[in-house]
Amino acid sequence: MVEQKISGCKVLVTGAAGFIGSNLVEDLLDHDNEVIGLDNFETGHRVNIEEFQNHQGFTFIEADILDKEACEKACKGVDYVLHQAALGSVPRSIENPIRTNNINVNGFLNIITAARDQKVKRFVYATSSSVYGTEKRLPKVEAKIGRPLSPYAITKHVNEQYARVYFDLYGLETIGLRYFNVFGKKQDPAGAYAAAIPKFIGQLIKHQSPTIHGDGTQSRDFTYIDNVIQANNIAALSTNPVSLGEVFNVAYGESTNLNELIEVLQELLSDFDPEIANVQIKPGEERIGDVRHSLASIVKSQTMLGYRPKYDLQAGLEKAIHWYWNNLQG
């Protein structure tokens, strides 16, 4: 089956200098789209968009989604919005719930309202598996969520509710994508809020024990960036009317615990440096706000959107490992 791609359109990517946003920009430019990138560099990095700056199809707006006028300007004449901008991280939201809410809820409201007012065809937005909270049943099914465990999870749940209401009340076509532990090139390994895979790789390269919160048996549905790119494209282009106003899991549909993840990383990285295989792994303190186990059902995404993820954890890491090795040293 030929993969659907947005082509020959004008697309706004918010959070364009972030990990996922910059990968979306690259894919969109590769398929002859005019791309507007919006970012304020609070968590994104200029280096992620440097390669696009001289591309004739790329326009960058340095602004905050809390700036209503900037949101209106960015949405003008746009066919699709791929909204990735947010203040991510469960621990960050626990430390600063007010800032997290301000950006993730008020900022979201600004950009979705601008999309409505500018008559954008469709608004595709990133939400998160963190909304499942206390729901223990596996795999996670979109209709069954628990009580949120962090301010970040609350903000993403609110986004989903607003998007549904904007579809029901105003007719703005919205689709939410619940990302599960995305990894790949341009992922930031630095800082207290770094995602597990780049953080672990950065530590292993330095022959340091990866920092595991708990005993390492907690599990995640790790999702390679190319699967996320596919999901954004097909969500924007879906002709299935029942998909509108809905949310969909974006994952591979397989669970890997952190001990297993580190074994795979050591194996792949040992091709570059054999000593990495000998790094000892030390358990650490449990982290508050974390969901213990995460595994997505992707049945709804498959049946309603035609989602067909190509990369499991091993295949994704094999594709990304050279980027990680070349960029996470030092």
Write down the catalytic residue from 125, 152, 307, 311: 152
How many of the other CB atoms lie within 10 Å of CB of 138? Answer: 15
Contacts 24+ apart (CB under 8 A), 204-210: 204/262, 204/265, 204/266, 204/269, 204/276, 204/279, 205/269, 205/273, 205/276, 205/325, 205/328, 205/329, 207/275, 207/276, 207/279, 208/279, 209/279, 209/280, 209/281, 209/282, 210/262, 210/265, 210/279, 210/281
- Cα-only R_g, the chain: 19
Query: Does residue 152 carry a catalytic annotation?
Result: yes
Closest CA relative to residue 232, chosen from 69, 68, 72, 15: 15
Which residues are catalytically annotated? 152
